[in-house]
Amino acid sequence: MDLTGILKLECCSTNIQSQTKELVLEELVKLVKRNEILKDVPVAELLESFHKRERQGSTGFGKGIAIPHCQISGIKDFVVGIGISHKGVEYDAIDHKKVKIFVVIVGPLESRSGHLQLLATVSRILKEPQIEQHLLHQESKIGLLDEFLRHSPETHTVSAQGKDKLLLLVVRDPDIMEEISEIFMEYGVEEATILDTSSMEGILSHVPLFLGFFDFTGDREKSGKLIMVKLPRDYLQALVHGLEDAFGNLDDFTGLALIVLDIFFSKGI
């Protein structure tokens, strides 16, 4: 089964923090809930489905790897997520070792054969020589996704996914630039163009008609940054999730705004 269209960047994490089986399942449920397919499925329902499967026997099959999986009604396609815990989690694995690599699968209740096929595909990938080291050494979500798919026999390259988009970030608060840089590093963004900007407010406040209308306290910052990033379409939603994890809903956050544009033609970038 081809995982390219199933495993989404927003459902990958290189920084699982939970230390117990109960808590890590909750964290993994929140991770896969980022996929639009599961947006209407309650967290409690997902969590109970995973617990029900674990009561049948631990999905930690050794070598520091677990494949928590379940089937639920009401969805039409599969969801896969990957989580890396560098400290490891006590997970009742068959070899009694801590689990560091979690591959999560949620499938439609009506597709038993597809679920088994996906489990078999994931199991084959996780049996590849040195796969644990390859996955654990990835520092970004994109690196983790790319490395996992690279070992799939049905997948040849991640770069074949969709058209590129141009992401424009308007940074109004200079104090968040460092945090944005850290988010970019986490998501594997290696190149970005940053421009200094001036707001229209700074211009109009010098026009007599508008004097006193803008910035009457004189405290508001009149300049900012414009960040331009070229990204594959399939990575955009994940990056937006990462930004909103840090700053909250961007509709309510005044320090940052974003725009996504189609790229019809580009050379040299």
pLDDT in tens, 140-196: 998 999 999 988 866 544 443 447 889 999 999 989 999 999 888 888 787 889 998
Where do the domains of the chain lie?
7-150, 164-262
Longest dimension (CA), the chain: 77
Q: Which percentage of the chain shows pLDDT scores above 90?
A: 64
Q: Report the distance separating Cα 57 and Cα 242, nearest Å.
A: 34
Give pLDDT, residue 238. 86
Which pLDDT value is given to residue 214? Answer: 45
Sequence-separated (6 or more) residues with CB below 8 Å from residue 84: 13, 14, 15, 16, 100, 101, 102, 135, 136, 138, 144
In terms of CATH architecture, what is 164-262? 2-Layer Sandwich (3.30)
Element (H, E) at 89: strand 79-89
**Least confident span in 17-21, 92-96, 134-138, 210-214:** 210-214
Q: Round to whole Å and give the CA distance between 257 and 24.
A: 32
CATH topology of domain 7-150: Mannitol-specific EII; Chain A (3.40.930)
Report how many helices (DSSP H) and strands (DSSP E) the chain contains, helices first: 8, 10
Please state the pTM of the whole predicted model.
Answer: 0.73
